[in-house]
Chains A and B, each alone.
Chain A
Amino acid sequence: MLFGLIVIFSLTAKDFASSANVWNVGTQATLLLLLALPMTLVILTEGLDLSMGAVLSLCTVILASVDIASGSLGLGLGAALAVGITFGVLNGWLVAWMGVTPFVATLGTMGLAQGLALVATEGRETVGVTAELRSLWEGHWVGLPIPIVGALVAYVLLHVVLYHTRFGARVIALGGNREALRLAGLNVNWYLMLVYVIAGVCVAVSAMLLTARINGGNASAAIGMEFDAIAAVLVGGTSFTSGRGGLLGSLFGVLTVSVLRNGLNLLALQASVQVAAVGLLVIVALAIDARAGKV
């Protein structure tokens, strides 16, 4: 599907295949990847995190304000991380200990984060972050844009966590056969909690890139990004039940969604059309999967 999209856009959109655009797509995709990777873990546990977009927006607001007020990037990052982890803990606690279904729990925290972001900014944008922070988006490190380096590091880290640690095996078991974990004498609640906390940390990291990119914080900067992340994970073949799927699939899912959006952008189609297109992509991908008898 990714391949098909690339061919179509190369033929129809003038600048699609230019090297500048390829780098552009790659860099843009990093934000989505940083959400889709932890979303993969969450969905593997038969969960869902709807709060990602709202928490990400809140993080940009906090990060930008602290960065501007104190002039210290480190302080800002710490604040954003604190916000991300707090929401991760809250989601995990609601899902694991309170037994709230993930959809409802994270829908609630989504509203909470959204509201807090609006209160903090009084609806205004916070602009003009330090050059240090801005360089995180525009800068290069050994010839690669920093966002891409960051996303690759995140991918490798989560790959190791999911496939090479006890914790990772338990994440897959949480969705595949939760009873097996209980019978093995393991307390599943902590693992669930940790999955949502990882999501919170990743959100804070992507807030760093997003704030750098838009040069400030905005209460609605990332609204709806959880939709793209879920779409990417589903297109990548991860299933809501049974613990089937994985990170590599999500990487391809992220590229597919990013290419689709970029291509439509170059064809000068509005953002609203793009959202519809992503929705269509999910439906097509899952229909193909269901036909193949895999879902």
Chain B
Amino acid sequence: MTNKSSTGPAQHGTVLETGGHIGTQIETRSKVSNPLLTLSGISKTFPGVHALQDVSLSLWAGEVHMLMGENGAGKSTLMKVMCGAYEPDAGEFRRDGIRVEVRNGADARRLGVAVIFQEFSLVPYLNIAQNIFLGREPMRCLPGIIDHQRMHRDAREVLKRLDFDVDTHAMVASLGVAQQQLVEIAKALSQHARILVLDEPTAALSDRESERLFKIIADLKAEGVAMAYISHRMEEVFELGDRVSILRDGKLVASMPASQAMPNELVALMVGRKVDMAYTRDARPQPGRTVLEVKELAAANGVHDISMKVRAGEIVGLAGLVGSGRTELARAIFGVDPVTKGEVLVNGKEFRAGPPEARECGMAFIPENRKLEGLALERTVGDNLLMAAMPRCFPKGWYIPAHANKLARDIIGQLRISTRGPHTRAQMLSGGSQQKIVIGKWLLDDAQLFIFDEPTRGIDVGAKEQIFELIDGLVRQGRAVLMISSEIGEIIRVCDRAYVMKDKTIAGHLERGDLDEAKLVRLAVHRD
């Protein structure tokens, strides 16, 4: 696939010529001269990350525009820009060809944009009807008083469309995830929007509920609603999509009529870049004894039927899409979330208790959100490094500043943490250095098994390589590493083998020889 130019309204000409069998759309289009909503040149930067770079996209009446991309490719950021939750740094919006400003949610709503969010925008202790009409409650003639009767009647009507039979007086907090998703869908539908953005709406739904949603989407299409549909599921792209666009690293890399797209091509476009980075590792010695063994594990957080092994001297990847259960698995192994079935063996001994015991066993968990869970940002580098290892470094119970200083300096040198010294506050350091502190903290505690959750999230490219070298160093010293990553390229470059998760269980296992991007994506994405 060579279609790598950015897509804008100009490119629609090609669609008209090529998409012969989507005749109905061509007719609509020839009558309407402009797309309902056009985004052009949208860029959005967060500290250290170009979340979106010069993205252009058109949504046409009666068309479902599928958006695909790996985790972190910028799909959700794009969606948040469309609904006014983020203000883009550059770029413009056009509604029916006329330039408009979208600064906040109210602006987007005025333009007729409604969003079905994946992370629910629901209020737990309001009832279903109140949630559906939050901010738009029907009023009685008396100013400010809500017409509850009408609100519940309208809510029932929308829910009926979804075949969702429920008492609209029920609190959202009492609903399950799938039911909450249905309420979220009802909330967007009730706005009678002209432009509907759907962020993986079927991720939490059963097949029957999904089918129902697809029928509604078909109805909306006939009514001339324009839809942007974010999905990871290949079959949805071909079942629903009129057009598919692919985002990678914040850029729109391709856009084509769905009828012309091939599944393999789409996967290739999503994965994109060849492995071209500096880090290539020398062969590591054969792995040694099994450090971690998980047998038919199930946990309260939903992961189930998990069996896996991690040996000393190897890096094992844990791949999968967001929500596939990777972090949940790590939490269950580490004893944060309760295990309901099966067992976790560390060095051959059964382990089933909380984090303190996991630490005793020599397990280290480096969480994804290091700022929240792994570091005390206000404290110094030295304090952070010694946090976990206090009892080990000071066996007599007295804190000796000079000794602490020396230990901290050793680790700083060993990990090449760029800081002026142990007395700098952790907050002042770059993301890469902060990550090193978290790793150093566990090194001091003499951990044998490291579980990394997205170790390079929010770290710039140069520092990433250093983190990889560091992880490589850990296993060369005979430690075992389990690494969760959403970046497929990273898994392939760094890991000796990988487990792929999907729907809260292990969907497949790839040995070194089999470890390539296409196989990995297929396991993570496909439904068969």
Q: Which A residues lie at the B interface, using CB under 8 A? A: 160, 164-167, 169-170, 172-173, 176-177, 179-186, 242-245
Asked whether any CB of chain A lies closer than 8 Å to the CB of B277, the reply is no
Shortest Cβ gap from B223 to chain A (Å): 23
Chain A residues contacting B124 (CB-CB under 8 Å) are 176-177, 242-244
Chain B interface residues toward A at CB < 8 A: 83-85, 104-109, 115, 117, 120-126, 130, 134-137, 139, 144-146, 148, 173
Complex: chain B residue closest to A176, CB-CB: B123
Contact B144 A180, beta carbon cutoff 8 Å: no
A177 CB to closest chain B CB, in angstroms?
Answer: 5
Known contacts A186-B106, A244-B124; A164 and B134 CB within 8 A of each other: no
Interfacial chain A residues near B85, Cβ < 8 Å: 182-183
Would A185 and B84 be within 8 Å (CB), given that A165-B146, A166-B146, A244-B173 are in contact? yes
22 sample A-B contacts, Cβ–Cβ < 8 Å, listed by A number: A165-B144, A169-B137, A170-B134, A170-B135, A172-B125, A173-B126, A176-B123, A177-B122, A177-B124, A180-B123, A182-B85, A182-B104, A183-B85, A184-B134, A185-B104, A185-B108, A185-B109, A186-B106, A243-B125, A244-B124, A244-B125, A244-B173
- Asked whether A177 and B105 contact (CB < 8 A) given A165-B146, A185-B84, the answer is no
Q: Whole-angstrom distance from the CB of B516 to the nearest CB of chain A?
A: 39
The interface residues of chain B lying within 8 Å CB-to-CB of A176 are 123-126
> Looking across the interface, which residue of chain A has its beta carbon closest to that of B131?
A180
**Cβ contact within 8 Å between B105 and A185:** yes
Provide the residues of chain B in CB contact with A185, threshold 8 Å.
84, 104-109, 135
Task: Report the minimal beta-carbon distance from A132 to chain B, rounded to whole angstroms.
Answer: 33
A169 adjacent to B108 (CB under 8 Å): no
Q: How far is the CB of A109 from chain B (nearest CB, A)?
A: 26
Do the beta carbons of B117 and A183 come within 8 Å of each other?
yes
In the complex, the answer to whether A180 meets B134 with C-beta atoms within 8 Å is yes
Given A173-B123, A177-B123, residue A164 in contact with residue B146 (CB < 8 A): yes
* Complex Cα gap A185–B136 (Å): 11
Verify A242–B117 contact, CB threshold 8 A.
no
CA distance A169 to B148 in the complex (A): 12
A176 to B122, CA, bound (A): 8
Mostly, the A contact residues are: helix
Name the CB-closest residue of B to A160: B145
Q: How far is the CA of A165 from the CA of B135 in the complex (A)?
A: 11
A167 to B121, Cβ gap below 8 A? no
- Known interface pairs A164-B145, A164-B148, A166-B146. Does A184 touch B135 (Cβ–Cβ under 8 Å)? yes
Instruction: Give Cα A243 to B146, complex, Å.
Output: 19
B135 touches A186 (CB 8 A): yes
Instruction: List B contacts of A179 (CB < 8 A).
Output: 121
Q: How far is the CA of A184 from the CA of B187 in the complex (A)?
A: 11
Task: Give the distance to chain B from A160, nearest Cβ to Cβ, in Å.
Answer: 8
List chain B residues, Cβ under 8 A from A243: 123-126
- Extra A-B contacts (17), CB below 8 Å, given A177-B123, A186-B106, A242-B173: A166-B139, A169-B134, A169-B146, A173-B126, A176-B126, A180-B134, A183-B85, A183-B105, A183-B115, A184-B105, A184-B134, A185-B84, A185-B135, A243-B124, A243-B125, A244-B124, A245-B125
Closest CB in chain B relative to A182 CB, distance in Å:
6
In contact, B144 and A167 (Cβ under 8 angstroms): yes
Q: What distance in Å separates the Cβ of B62 from its nearest Cβ neighbour in chain A?
A: 26
Residues of A within 8 A of B107 (CB): 185
Q: Which residues on the B side are within 8 Å of A182 (C-beta)?
A: 85, 104-105
CB nearest neighbor in B for A184: B135
Q: Return A219 CB to nearest CB of chain B, in Å.
A: 37
**CA–CA, A182 to B134, complex, Å?**
11
Give A182's nearest chain B residue, CB to CB: B105
**CB closest residue in chain B, given A175:** B125
Are A242 and B145 interface neighbours, CB within 8 A? no
A161 closest partner in B (C-beta):
B144
B121-A166 in contact (CB<8A): no
User: Closest residue to B137 on the A side, CB-wise?
Assistant: A166
Please measure, in the bound complex, the distance between the C-alpha atom of A184 and the C-alpha atom of B137, giving whole angstroms.
12
B190 to chain A, nearest CB (A): 12
Which residues does chain A contribute within 8 Å of B173, judged by CB atoms? 242, 244
Residue pair B122, A180 in contact (C-beta under 8 Å): yes
Which residue in B115, B126, B144, B148 is a CB contact (below 8 Å) of A172? B126
Q: Is the Cβ of A181 less than 8 Å from the Cβ of B84?
A: no
